[in-house]
Structure 1
């Protein structure tokens, strides 16, 4: 895999394209809205809804990375499948992933959705901790992408896709509880966390576990994923979506929220993964706790949410090129070796962030 197309050149897509270019890939960026073509890789104004135009572009590459909104990924994945090339995306959307799993059963290339931060990197960490026990009784995964200097009651800034945030706040969440896979409501099971002296609250959100419930349903009796925010956030969001009925007007909700809390440059990504179990008959708890801040990458400073998301997927693509990962079928994030990811030039950025 030497030639790769990157669809969607927002903050994450642009950075991913630049990192791939630095790693020696021949990158083509596809984005109908981009007017700035002064980049170190080729950019083409392709409308992804134009199937014929997309097919023509994919016939010239070995792989595709979609950094598009989740609702566009199924059709893009179908086109990549028909072209027989590798497919990667960042989606947290469960129906999208299920559709891609079906495509992977007959794919000529690798189908690898969920390669971002959560799902993605957090699942790789979780699987690594689980593997350290003879018998693991629980694995709890938490991620928070937040402004370093929160203001207002919400204490938030939309550095990530507003559509993705709304999707994960409203869709049901898959968990394993006492050995049973079940679905629970989003923005529930609220708990307190303290990382480096910073108090946070965590609550259920959709999609963060990826395929882990299916993988571990007979091995880890308790598993869940939660999003972390500053205290008071979840109460306001429940009021906004459920009491004001904005859950019925998702597009309008996105506009209201991002207008009220636009992106900031000074952000932080908190990752807290904890697993408990026995080793040699002794009960133990293992944790991975990090605070990731903006980094200088590809010639400029990048927000934490942008570089953690882009670095995760680029590291996976590097591993596929090198033959460390499968070349066909469906790739589960929990099957990606943590040490191998950290040993890639891009994935090595995750070695920092110690609290």
Structure 2
């Protein structure tokens, strides 16, 4: 793998391209490239135009999509047809299922959901539960938040507003009492304390990726929840359900983007806990870390940007180096945690976690 295309040069995509360009030849494409001096080649193009996409991918061995989830299926179709390795950040379950089917008829790798959650959290969870002989429960929590919250929502869209609304409205898959089922997002609220500060966590869609399928019949409890400041869930339920904004996602996105300004200082919280038996003894293993802004390549990056960018870049690196399979669908939980953390980009999680 020598030449890689990166689609979408926004908050995350521009850093993904910057990181990968340190090891590979990267060409970025965006409908409206930022007027910045990137260290990689950039092109202006429309990803919805099939002819343009095929021309862009003809000399690439891999493509990384950092675009909103609803644009990914067509891009993945073209990549699969051209046998170009495909990676994305989607949290959308229908998109995941469509891409998984494409993987049956291509000689390329199809690796969606390579971000933070789904993505790194699945690799982390699997790294914990692989230490157990019997697994009783797997609980994973992730939050991307402004460092200094204001207002009832205590939130800022440091990544895609479309993605946040999508994961709040779509049902979430869990394993409960040994049964694989769907539950409503924004429900099953709990209070969680991390580093002495209180947060709330609640069910959201997509965070588990394919893990329910992987652990079906092997675990009593498996769930993923999003971490927010207290009061956020109630405010969003009022907005999306009581005010019926769930029926107009575009308007909901526009209102929230207008109401919640982007902030420079953010924090990413990651918590995972697994219970089960090791050598016949009941044990519990946990992982708790937080991540803040970081300077990379001489530029300051938000926590959500660099944690997401390092996650997908690490998966690309592992495929490029022959550490993972070179064709077909890749589940995040199939990626060994030690392999991920020893990679050039995955090691950032070890170096900069608090």
- How far apart are 1:353 and its partner, in Å? 5.0
After superposition, give the CA deviation of every residue in 1:44-101 in whole Å (9 maximum; x if it has no partner).
1111011001101101100000000000000000010111110000000000000001
Q: Distance in 2 between matches of 1:270 and 1:198?
A: 11
Gaps of 5+ in 2: none
Contact 2:9 2:34 survives alignment (8 Å): no
Q: 2:313 matched to 1:321?
A: no
User: Mapping of 1:99-118 within 5 angstroms?
Assistant: 99-118=98-117
After superposition, give the CA deviation of every residue in 1:191-236 in whole Å (9 maximum; x if it has no partner).
0101001110000000000000001102122100000000111011
User: Mapping of 1:160-179 within 5 angstroms?
Assistant: 160-179=159-178
- How far apart are 1:354 and its partner, in Å? 4.7
Please give the root-mean-square deviation of Cα atoms over the aligned residues, in Å: 0.9
Instruction: Give the corresponding residue for 2:341.
Output: 342
Contact 1:64 1:80 survives alignment (8 Å): yes
Q: 2:5 matched to 1:5?
A: yes
Instruction: Give the corresponding residue for 1:185.
Output: 184
Instruction: Give the corresponding residue for 2:306.
Output: 307
- How far apart are 1:281 and its partner, in Å? 1.1
After superposition, give the CA deviation of every residue in 1:308-335 in whole Å (9 maximum; x if it has no partner).
0000000111111110011000000000
- How far apart are 1:301 and its partner, in Å? 1.2
User: Mapping of 1:107-256 within 5 angstroms?
Assistant: 107-256=106-255
SS across alignment from 2:187: coil
Instruction: Give the corresponding residue for 2:288.
Output: 289
The number of aligned residues is: 354
Instruction: Give the corresponding residue for 2:16.
Output: 16
Query: Structure 1 residues 43, 269: CA separation in 2 closer, same or farther (over 3 Å shift)?
Result: same
Q: Distance in 2 between matches of 1:85 and 1:271?
A: 32
Contact 1:159 1:262 survives alignment (8 Å): no
Q: Distance in 1 between matches of 2:109 and 2:34?
A: 31
Contact 1:289 1:354 survives alignment (8 Å): no
Q: Distance in 2 between matches of 1:37 and 1:192?
A: 42
Q: Distance in 2 between matches of 1:14 and 1:185?
A: 34
TM-score, length of structure 2 as denominator length: 0.99
- How far apart are 1:346 and its partner, in Å? 1.1
* Greater displacement, 107-116 / 33-42: 33-42
Instruction: Give the corresponding residue for 1:42.
Output: 41
Contact 2:265 2:293 survives alignment (8 Å): yes
- How far apart are 1:352 and its partner, in Å? 3.9
- How far apart are 1:187 and its partner, in Å? 0.2
After superposition, give the CA deviation of every residue in 1:264-283 in whole Å (9 maximum; x if it has no partner).
11000000000000111111
SS across alignment from 1:296: strand
Contact 2:114 2:315 survives alignment (8 Å): yes
User: Mapping of 1:21-100 within 5 angstroms?
Assistant: 21-22=21-22, 24-36=23-35, 38-100=37-99
* Greater displacement, 251-260 / 182-191: 251-260
Q: Distance in 2 between matches of 1:98 and 1:279?
A: 34
Q: Distance in 1 between matches of 2:305 and 2:214?
A: 28
Q: Distance in 2 between matches of 1:263 and 1:352?
A: 26
SS across alignment from 2:124: helix
Q: Distance in 2 between matches of 1:16 and 1:312?
A: 9
SS across alignment from 1:287: strand
